[in-house]
Structure 1
Amino acid sequence: MVTTCYFVRHAEPNYDNHNDYERELSEKGERDRHLVTAFLEDKGITAIYSSPYVRAKETVRPLADKLGLAVIERDDFRERKITTDWIEDFQAFSQQQWADFSYKLADGESLSEVATRNIAALEQLLEEHEGQNLVVGSHGTALSTIINHYDKTFAYADFERVKGLMPWIVVFRFEGKTCLSIEEVNLFEL
């Protein structure tokens, strides 16, 4: 039985809000999230999960409302914690993390730690929803580490390539816990 997981990277956030947990969508993000609903509404979705971060939940909420489903928060799908302070040179920091998956700042997480908790949460969903079609509201870095887990060729250059894609969907197909395929969907090219 094939289980399909549609990971949805959130739409554009309001970058003026530096609170990572509470950062809401920008006006553009609020408009663009409807691209997610249009793409997924006929995919036979049976459950919708999300990171607890506001921007991720807000991105999948219109789909949940349309399908009459709840958005179920799973803390382990949250974005990586960089540090307690705002980082000005995000690109240099990201390059360092992709070069060394164990690298992290004080009070932050390494990409290895982000991948470990996201994969554990995903594998739990695969057990709970075998043969179903699921949606998971996610984030750029967290989602990139999941792709990298199953496809080691996905690296920093790919992360840079998709950095501006918000929202962005990645479709994973599984048989049991074996990843059969990974498909990127650029909603702006449909």
Structure 2
Amino acid sequence: MTHIYFVRHAQPEHEWQEDRTRPLTEEGKRDSKKVTQILSDIHIDCAFSSPYQRSIDTIFESTTTHCLEIVTDERFREREKGQNGNDFGIFQKRWSDFDFHEEGGESLNMVQKRNIEAFMEILRDHRDENILIGTHGTALSTILNYYEPTYNCDSFLRIIDFMPYIIRLDFDELRYFKKEELLYVEKEFKGAIRADKK
């Protein structure tokens, strides 16, 4: 059995303009230690991550504890966001039409395609291992939707405030078996324009 530990990053500095280099808040850094605690008694064979700083920083202490190098993969990056890309209404529109994207942004199909491509390679190359992957809310949600098509906009909005968030997916070779949530810390996702706050 192959066990994949997806870790959605801890709370980032939402006012930081450059998405790729956006760091964790001091609170986010402290919450990352909870990731280390959860994974401390689990043997981890290898670690991968989105190249974005907040994803790397969230799993860094854990990988150091396990004496692992983090291998970054550009395909695991978060969705490219265009103008008003985090508007609540746009969330709903994107999830009802996987090919829809705002100007300058990626559709969920685009995000899912590259994330699944990278993920399938890992599954094939690391059979029967315990694998850690640092990820993002939308990127992770497209992977979960791929294996469970009932995963929808409401499912995505349920985890939007979970930072950090750990979910384990189990596979028998390439066959998805089950999932289990191991940790979530609720922090408001301030990057979203919510319908209840307009």
Q: TM-score normalised to the size of structure 1?
A: 0.93
Aligned partners of 1:137, 1:46: CA distance in 2, in Å? 14
Change (3 A) 1:42 1:117: same
Residue 14 of structure 1 is matched in structure 2 by: 13
Mapped contact 2:85–2:105 kept (Cα < 8 A) = no
Aligned partners of 1:171, 1:90: CA distance in 2, in Å? 29
Match for residue 100 of structure 1 among 83, 97, 102: 97
Q: Which moved more, 1:168-177 or 1:179-188?
A: 179-188
Matched, 1:172 2:169: yes
**Aligned letter for 2:166?**
I
Number of aligned residues: 186
Aligned partners of 1:111, 1:55: CA distance in 2, in Å? 21
Structure 2 unaligned blocks of 5 or more? 187-198
Render the CA deviation track for 1:81-132: whole Å, top value 9, x for unaligned.
022x5x3752122111111110012222100111111111111001111100
Mapped contact 2:163–2:185 kept (Cα < 8 A) = no
Mapped contact 2:85–2:102 kept (Cα < 8 A) = no
Change (3 A) 1:17 1:66: same
Residue 190 of structure 2 is matched in structure 1 by: none
Aligned partners of 2:89, 2:130: CA distance in 1, in Å? 37
Mapped contact 1:36–1:187 kept (Cα < 8 A) = no
Match for residue 159 of structure 2 among 150, 162, 166: 162
**What is the CA-CA distance between 1:186 and the residue it aligns to?**
3.0
Change (3 A) 1:66 1:89: closer
Residue 139 of structure 1 is matched in structure 2 by: 136
SS of the aligned residue for 2:93 comes to helix
Residue 189 of structure 2 is matched in structure 1 by: none
Residue 30 of structure 1 is matched in structure 2 by: 29
Aligned partners of 1:130, 1:29: CA distance in 2, in Å? 32
**Aligned letter for 1:29?**
G
Residue 88 of structure 2 is matched in structure 1 by: 91
**What is the CA-CA distance between 1:188 and the residue it aligns to?**
4.3
Q: TM-score normalised to the size of structure 2?
A: 0.90
Mapped contact 1:35–1:187 kept (Cα < 8 A) = no
Residue 183 of structure 1 is matched in structure 2 by: 180
**Aligned letter for 2:80?**
K
Mapped contact 2:5–2:131 kept (Cα < 8 A) = yes
SS of the aligned residue for 1:186 comes to strand
Render the CA deviation track for 1:66-93: whole Å, top value 9, x for unaligned.
111111101111101022x5x3752122
Structure 1 unaligned blocks of 5 or more? none
